[in-house]
Amino acid sequence: MAEVLTDTKIAALIAEAKPLPEDYIRRVQTKPKRGHRERELDLVGANGSGFRLILRESSFNALDFSVILAWLPPQSTNPFRLRRYNGRSHEHTNALESQKFYQFHMHLATERYQQSGLREDAFAEPTTRYHDFAGALRCLLQDCGFELPPNRQSGLFEAEGVQ
Protein backbone atom coordinates (compact mmCIF):
# COMPACT_ATOMS: atom_id res chain seq x y z
CA MET A 1 0.00 0.00 0.00
CA ALA A 2 1.21 3.49 -0.79
CA GLU A 3 2.51 5.66 2.01
CA VAL A 4 -0.14 7.80 3.77
CA LEU A 5 0.73 11.48 3.59
CA THR A 6 -0.13 13.44 6.71
CA ASP A 7 -2.16 16.63 6.50
CA THR A 8 0.98 18.53 7.53
CA LYS A 9 2.98 17.06 4.66
CA ILE A 10 0.11 17.74 2.23
CA ALA A 11 -0.09 21.36 3.37
CA ALA A 12 3.67 21.77 3.03
CA LEU A 13 3.63 20.43 -0.53
CA ILE A 14 0.77 22.74 -1.47
CA ALA A 15 2.55 25.73 0.07
CA GLU A 16 5.92 24.95 -1.52
CA ALA A 17 6.77 27.70 -4.01
CA LYS A 18 6.27 26.57 -7.60
CA PRO A 19 7.89 28.91 -10.09
CA LEU A 20 6.13 28.84 -13.45
CA PRO A 21 8.28 28.83 -16.59
CA GLU A 22 8.39 31.90 -18.84
CA ASP A 23 6.28 30.17 -21.48
CA TYR A 24 3.77 28.66 -19.07
CA ILE A 25 0.75 30.15 -20.86
CA ARG A 26 1.66 28.38 -24.06
CA ARG A 27 2.28 25.18 -22.12
CA VAL A 28 -1.14 25.12 -20.46
CA GLN A 29 -3.04 25.37 -23.73
CA THR A 30 -4.95 22.10 -23.94
CA LYS A 31 -4.75 19.82 -26.97
CA PRO A 32 -7.52 17.66 -28.42
CA LYS A 33 -7.79 14.00 -27.50
CA ARG A 34 -10.74 11.65 -27.93
CA GLY A 35 -13.71 13.42 -26.36
CA HIS A 36 -11.72 15.93 -24.37
CA ARG A 37 -8.75 18.29 -24.43
CA GLU A 38 -5.76 17.81 -22.16
CA ARG A 39 -2.35 19.14 -21.19
CA GLU A 40 0.20 18.48 -18.47
CA LEU A 41 3.02 20.63 -17.18
CA ASP A 42 5.77 19.28 -14.93
CA LEU A 43 7.35 21.67 -12.45
CA VAL A 44 10.00 21.59 -9.74
CA GLY A 45 9.21 23.31 -6.46
CA ALA A 46 11.57 25.55 -4.51
CA ASN A 47 12.43 22.62 -2.19
CA GLY A 48 13.07 20.28 -5.10
CA SER A 49 9.72 18.46 -5.05
CA GLY A 50 8.32 17.37 -8.40
CA PHE A 51 4.82 18.51 -9.30
CA ARG A 52 2.50 18.06 -12.25
CA LEU A 53 -0.27 20.38 -13.36
CA ILE A 54 -2.89 18.21 -15.08
CA LEU A 55 -5.55 19.89 -17.20
CA ARG A 56 -8.65 18.27 -18.68
CA GLU A 57 -11.69 19.82 -20.36
CA SER A 58 -14.55 18.09 -22.11
CA SER A 59 -15.10 18.64 -25.83
CA PHE A 60 -18.86 18.30 -25.27
CA ASN A 61 -19.66 20.18 -22.10
CA ALA A 62 -17.95 23.42 -21.04
CA LEU A 63 -18.90 22.72 -17.43
CA ASP A 64 -17.02 19.42 -17.42
CA PHE A 65 -13.35 20.04 -16.59
CA SER A 66 -10.65 19.15 -14.12
CA VAL A 67 -7.63 21.15 -13.02
CA ILE A 68 -5.29 19.06 -10.91
CA LEU A 69 -2.14 19.64 -8.92
CA ALA A 70 -0.30 16.37 -8.34
CA TRP A 71 2.87 15.69 -6.41
CA LEU A 72 5.34 13.28 -8.04
CA PRO A 73 6.78 11.06 -5.29
CA PRO A 74 10.47 10.35 -6.01
CA GLN A 75 10.18 6.57 -5.57
CA SER A 76 6.90 6.02 -7.37
CA THR A 77 5.31 6.46 -10.76
CA ASN A 78 1.90 7.20 -9.21
CA PRO A 79 1.20 10.93 -8.94
CA PHE A 80 -0.45 11.94 -5.67
CA ARG A 81 -3.34 14.34 -6.30
CA LEU A 82 -3.10 17.23 -3.86
CA ARG A 83 -5.90 19.34 -5.31
CA ARG A 84 -8.46 18.84 -8.08
CA TYR A 85 -10.82 21.59 -9.13
CA ASN A 86 -13.79 20.11 -10.98
CA GLY A 87 -16.64 21.55 -12.96
CA ARG A 88 -20.36 20.95 -12.60
CA SER A 89 -20.96 17.85 -14.69
CA HIS A 90 -21.59 15.21 -12.07
CA GLU A 91 -22.60 14.78 -8.47
CA HIS A 92 -20.00 14.12 -5.83
CA THR A 93 -20.41 12.13 -2.61
CA ASN A 94 -18.08 12.44 0.38
CA ALA A 95 -18.18 8.87 1.61
CA LEU A 96 -17.15 9.56 5.22
CA GLU A 97 -19.65 12.39 5.70
CA SER A 98 -22.42 10.91 3.49
CA GLN A 99 -22.63 14.34 1.91
CA LYS A 100 -23.77 14.64 -1.71
CA PHE A 101 -23.88 17.72 -3.95
CA TYR A 102 -24.11 18.79 -7.58
CA GLN A 103 -21.99 21.93 -7.82
CA PHE A 104 -18.57 23.08 -8.94
CA HIS A 105 -16.32 21.42 -6.41
CA MET A 106 -12.73 21.25 -5.18
CA HIS A 107 -11.18 17.91 -4.27
CA LEU A 108 -8.69 18.15 -1.42
CA ALA A 109 -6.19 15.47 -0.42
CA THR A 110 -6.71 14.45 3.20
CA GLU A 111 -4.95 12.14 5.61
CA ARG A 112 -8.20 10.70 6.98
CA TYR A 113 -9.53 9.61 3.58
CA GLN A 114 -6.24 7.85 2.86
CA GLN A 115 -6.39 6.12 6.23
CA SER A 116 -9.90 4.93 5.39
CA GLY A 117 -8.56 3.23 2.28
CA LEU A 118 -10.12 5.79 -0.05
CA ARG A 119 -8.46 7.83 -2.77
CA GLU A 120 -6.34 10.64 -1.40
CA ASP A 121 -8.58 13.28 -2.97
CA ALA A 122 -11.96 11.57 -2.47
CA PHE A 123 -13.08 14.42 -0.22
CA ALA A 124 -14.45 17.51 -1.98
CA GLU A 125 -16.04 20.83 -1.10
CA PRO A 126 -18.57 22.72 -3.22
CA THR A 127 -17.41 26.13 -4.39
CA THR A 128 -18.69 29.30 -6.05
CA ARG A 129 -15.20 30.71 -6.63
CA TYR A 130 -15.09 29.69 -10.29
CA HIS A 131 -17.56 28.84 -13.03
CA ASP A 132 -15.36 27.76 -15.90
CA PHE A 133 -12.06 26.07 -16.74
CA ALA A 134 -9.99 29.27 -16.82
CA GLY A 135 -11.42 30.33 -13.47
CA ALA A 136 -10.63 26.97 -11.92
CA LEU A 137 -7.05 27.14 -13.19
CA ARG A 138 -6.69 30.67 -11.86
CA CYS A 139 -7.94 29.55 -8.42
CA LEU A 140 -5.61 26.56 -8.32
CA LEU A 141 -2.60 28.70 -9.22
CA GLN A 142 -3.57 31.21 -6.53
CA ASP A 143 -4.16 28.53 -3.88
CA CYS A 144 -1.14 26.31 -4.39
CA GLY A 145 2.04 28.38 -4.24
CA PHE A 146 2.50 29.02 -7.94
CA GLU A 147 4.76 31.96 -8.77
CA LEU A 148 4.52 33.89 -12.01
CA PRO A 149 7.71 34.52 -14.01
CA PRO A 150 9.37 37.84 -13.08
CA ASN A 151 8.15 39.70 -16.16
CA ARG A 152 4.55 38.49 -15.86
CA GLN A 153 3.47 39.70 -12.45
CA SER A 154 0.09 41.01 -13.56
CA GLY A 155 -3.00 38.92 -14.40
CA LEU A 156 -2.61 35.29 -15.21
CA PHE A 157 -4.34 34.95 -18.56
CA GLU A 158 -5.55 38.40 -19.45
CA ALA A 159 -3.92 38.55 -22.88
CA GLU A 160 -3.83 35.07 -24.26
CA GLY A 161 -6.79 33.48 -22.53
CA VAL A 162 -7.01 29.80 -21.79
CA GLN A 163 -8.89 27.50 -24.08
Count interface residues toward another protein (CB under 8 A). 39
Q: HSE of 32 in the Cβ direction (CA atoms, 13 Å)?
A: 4
Instruction: Tell me, residue by residue from 95 to 134, as one string, x for binding to another protein by CB under 8 A and - for no binding.
Output: x------x----x----------xx-xxxx----------
Instruction: Tell me, residue by residue from 45 to 84, as one string, x for binding to another protein by CB under 8 A and - for no binding.
Output: ---------x-x-xxxx--x-x-x-----xxxxxx-x--x
Q: Is the Cβ of residue 47 or residue 93 nearer to another protein in the bound state? A: 93
Tell me how far apart the alpha carbons of residues 114 and 117 are, in angstroms, rounded to a whole number. 5
Residue 101 burial (CB count, 10 A): 14
Tell me how far apart the alpha carbons of residues 65 and 125 are, in angstroms, rounded to a whole number. 16
Q: Is the Cβ of residue 11 or residue 95 nearer to another protein in the bound state? A: 95
Tell which residue, 24, 26, 28, 51, has the closest CA to residue 39.
Answer: 28
Cα angle at 31 between 104 and 70, to 5 degrees? 55
Q: Which of 6, 11, 15, 38 binds another protein (CB under 8 A)?
A: 38
Select from 5-13, 19-27, 35-43, 149-157 the region that touches another protein (CB under 8 A).
Answer: 35-43
Q: 3-class DSSP state for residue 56?
A: strand
Strands 146-147 and 123-126, by their bridges, are: unpaired
Which residue ranges make up the site for another protein (CB under 8 A)?
2, 33-36, 38, 54, 56, 58-61, 64, 66, 68, 74-79, 81, 84, 86, 89-95, 102, 107, 118-119, 121-124
